[in-house]
Structure 1
Amino acid sequence: MLAAMSATADSPGSPAAVAVARNGGDACPGTLRLHTADDGALARVRIPGGVLTAARARTLLDAAERLGDGELHLTSRGNVQLRGLGQDCGGELAELLREAGLLPSDRHERARNVVASPLSGLDTAGRSDIRPWLDELDALLCASERATALSGRFLFALDDGRGDVDALGADLTLIALDDGQALLRIGPGDTGALLPVAFANAPRAALLAAEAFLDLAAGPDVWRISGLPGAARAVLPAEAARRAGLAPPPEPLAHRAAAAAPGPGAVTGPGGRTALHVGVPMGRLTGVRWRALVETAERLGSGELRCTPWRGVVVPGLAAATAREALDALAGAGLVTGPGSPWAGVGACVGRPGCAKSLADVRAEAEAALGPAGRLPVYWSGCERRCGHPRGEWIDVLATPDGHRITHVRGESRGAPTAVPDDPAALAAAVAAARDART
């Protein structure tokens, strides 16, 4: 999602936002550290767990309409990006976000990368409601001086036991178990080391593990646990356990991520209340779409929205009797409300004209290739970086100088690519076939 950058650097903790360049260091954008893209400056607003009050949601749209391109762009971490910003709007943007409570700490704003199971507490699939974890971890991060050194790429995940965000490959993942217990996964995927921890102590253990990572990192370019030298990565679990007062298990624990992302539609939960999960085509929330979501949350729901790591939005707290009417209204605003939508499972990077590295307007190409919903998700990328691509099993459509390359991806393995010439009809047919393939 990052595009071509200019050549300046920021001053950490400065109250005014400035546009900065990719200079070999961690150049992740924030709200105090804007990036210059082909369509203007870009700000990334960290929203831990994707949780927004309706008032804060309105502030984000106000900022986008006053200062940017008028749209909110969801990321694969449940954050929100503002694009098309003016180079001199940083101070005004920061002040807007501060007043709304979206910037609780200037020095920690890029460290607040936390994804959480978006349906936690709203249905019966999870083992525990991890909302208390979310609030506590964010508070602990903002109170930690050491955490200011965390990269904008470092990611925490809070999984309520269903396995959805555990599958996202976070640096540190808390997984709820039964009977007041939890696991702390240190490192991404099934290769990460697992430590048992009491549910109530889990956020503190995650913060201490992050601080241990920083102390073991060999230099400023080690942004994530996967980048640690082998020896340092091997000792990190024991060091994290020591700091948190945990007893490392006598033998390695096994816990496989389920990799199940929620589908669009209505979800019935405890007390008969209903939550709506809708997909956002290409992650682009126009003013019409965002206002429809906010008004639904205020009028029919609990007044809260939850942005998901799959570029969707959850509206909690509706009465069952109003859910169908609300879903129909959101569908009318252009949101994905059921698995039959041609937009279901379709994603793309920004592409042209927003990104100078992109070889194509992949969003327009993806829209032109829409057809019946496929078995597998598909993600269109304008260059080899594949910014924002999904995890698990998916179809990779990559723009090349001669057309496109289509590859079936399963975790870390990739099938043989198929080259498709620059022909829209042939490309649409090839993508549809790849999405429904069973081999």
Structure 2
Amino acid sequence: MPQPPSAVSRDEPVIRERGDACPGALRLHAADDGHLARVRIPGGLLDGAAALLLADAADRLGDGHIDLTSRGNAQLRGLGAGCGGELAGVLERAGLLPAPSHERVRNIVVSPLTGLDGSGLPDVSGWVAELDGLLCADPAAAGLSGRFLFALDDGRGDVAALAGDVVVVARPDGGALVSTAGARQGVRVGARDAPRAALVAARYFLDAARAAGTRAWRVSELPPEHALEPEWLLGRLESCGIAGRIEGAPVPPPGDGPEPGLVAGADGRAALSVLAPLGRLTSAQWRTLAGIGGRLRLTPWRGVVVPGLTGPTAARALAVLADAGLVTDAADPWRSVTACTGRPGCAKSRADVRADARALVRSTPGPLPVHWSGCERRCGHPRAAAWVDLVATPQGYEVSAPGRAAETARHPDLAAVLTAARSTIQ
């Protein structure tokens, strides 16, 4: 099956002619359905009061929805061109703009269930606030692109597999391994030094990108002669008073997010894990989530974890969320269906892919996940090892899957073609 572009090969470095235009909360993006704001929420960690302010902004300034991104951030769509100042005021009251000069670089993902599921793995949620504070306090860090990603993994390998530029993985004995994208080795440091070490690694990238002169946005875009070396990273850490040693950095398998449902923790505590169909929540669904436990964790798999509940309360709340239209069961057909924005939000899209996905989600079962794309860019495609790829063309949808020849189909034949593709056995 045709594959979307992935990490850039270091044999073919990107040479950029312009700066990063990635949208943010203050830099709105003009889309076909209005302006778009992307609100960075480090680690996806959000308190209920801030969540409710976001819902109010979605209703008053946008289209009444909140989209979840593949980095655990939130997007508001359908915004008016002149609402930027008002939106900034809302976000400031919500505590979501601690450093306006750095708002687009606060891209931090963390293992969503860290400290919640009784796994015995270290709780690394505290790293998020510390790293975010260090980023916002460092003037040089404002030079990172809006696409640069920090991944903080508690050792389960979920967010370590999300192509982070700087990856920090906790070790069971209290240490942490800090590595950069594509590196086979990293630097072992003490857990307390992990957030500061992550910032040092990011500044190392900025220096290498400046020396390369290619305006690289991500570590994978650096040319080979400017690749980040573990030995150099170790030297930089030691110069900052951070002791470490070089260790191998195993390549994690494709990361999976939390399964929908009840997540049992220690001491009778529980959390809820739900998914938003196609990553989109109405403001009413969002308010329901915010009101259950007073805290949310947005996940890079376009889901939400609600922590801090007791067992009986959690079971009742899960039923409420199911009634609200959220995915609460791993067997739900929406569990394995994703789509790009499509029409009317994207001018490049040839179809309203979300409407088409909704029309067929219940009638096209199969073991393979499926992704609907409005054009060949395949935005938001899954990180699974294999999936059914639907791309809108002028002749209909081109449907392909590993080990199966691509086939173009229109309605009403599309359902049968998609079902067959999802059942392809490799």
Aligned-residue CA RMSD (Å): 1.9
Distance 1:352 1:287, change over 3 A: same
Shift of 1:350: 0.6
In 1, distance between residues paired with 2:131 and 2:19? 26
Q: Which moved more, 1:386-395 or 1:48-57?
A: 386-395
Conserved 8 A contact 1:349-1:382: yes
Q: State the match for 1:7 in structure 2.
A: none
TM-fit CA distance, 1:162: 0.8
Aligned equivalent of 1:422, options 410, 416, 419: 410
Identity %: 55
Where 2:333 maps in the other structure, the secondary structure is coil
Q: Answer whether contact 2:254 2:383 (CA < 8 A) is retained.
A: no
In structure 1, stretches of 5+ residues that fail to align are 1-21, 298-302, 409-413
Matches within 5 A, 1:255-334: 255-257=251-253, 259-297=255-293, 303-334=294-325
**1:195 Cα deviation after fit:** 2.1
Map 1:8-407 to 2 at 5 A.
24-125=18-119, 127-188=121-182, 192-217=184-209, 218-219=212-213, 221-233=215-227, 235-245=228-238, 246-249=243-246, 252-257=248-253, 259-297=255-293, 303-371=294-362, 374-393=366-385, 394-407=387-400
User: Does the aligned pair in 1 maintain the 2:158–2:254 contact within 8 Å?
Assistant: yes
Give the whole-Å Cα distance in 2 for the aligned partners of 1:304 and 1:102.
14
Q: Do 1:344 and 1:373's aligned partners in 2 also have CA atoms closer than 8 Å?
A: no
Report the 3-state secondary structure (helix = DSSP H, G, I; strand = E; otherwise coil) of the residue aligned with 1:132.
helix
- Structure 1 CA distance for aligned equivalents of residues 165 and 256 of structure 2: 19
| Structure-1 residue corresponding to 2:7 | none
Q: Which amino acid aligns with 1:420?
A: T
Give the whole-Å Cα distance in 2 for the aligned partners of 1:200 and 1:428. 53
2:413 alignment partner, SS class: helix
SS in structure 1 at match of 2:267: helix
CA distance in 1, matches of 2:272, 2:193: 31
Aligned-residue offset at 1:196: 1.5
Q: Give the number of equivalent residue pairs.
A: 403
Dislocated runs of 4+, deviation >4 Å: 414-417
Residues 1:224 and 1:428: Cα distance change in structure 2 (over 3 Å): same
Q: SS of the residue aligned with 1:271?
A: coil
Query: Could you tell me how far apart the structure 2 residues matched to 1:359 and 1:55 are?
Result: 39
Residues 1:219 and 1:160: Cα distance change in structure 2 (over 3 Å): same
TM-score by length of 1: 0.88
State the TM-score, normalized to the length of structure 2.
0.90
Cα distance in 1 between the residues matched to 2:202 and 2:252:
22
Relative to structure 1, is the Cα distance of residues 145 and 63 closer, same or farther in structure 2, using a 3 angstrom cutoff?
same
Higher relative contact order (CA 8 A, sep 6+): 2
- Unmatched segments (≥5 aa) in structure 2: 1-15
Cα distance, 1:406–1:59 mapped onto 2, change above 3 Å:
same
Structure 1 Cα separation of the partners of residues 249 and 167 of structure 2: 14
CA contact (8 A) 1:73 1:285 kept: yes
CA contact (8 A) 1:26 1:221 kept: no
Q: Choose 216-225 or 283-292, whichever is displaced more.
A: 216-225
- Aligned-partner Cα distance in 2 for 1:24–1:401: 32
Q: Which amino acid aligns with 1:369?
A: L
Q: Secondary structure at the match of 1:110?
A: helix
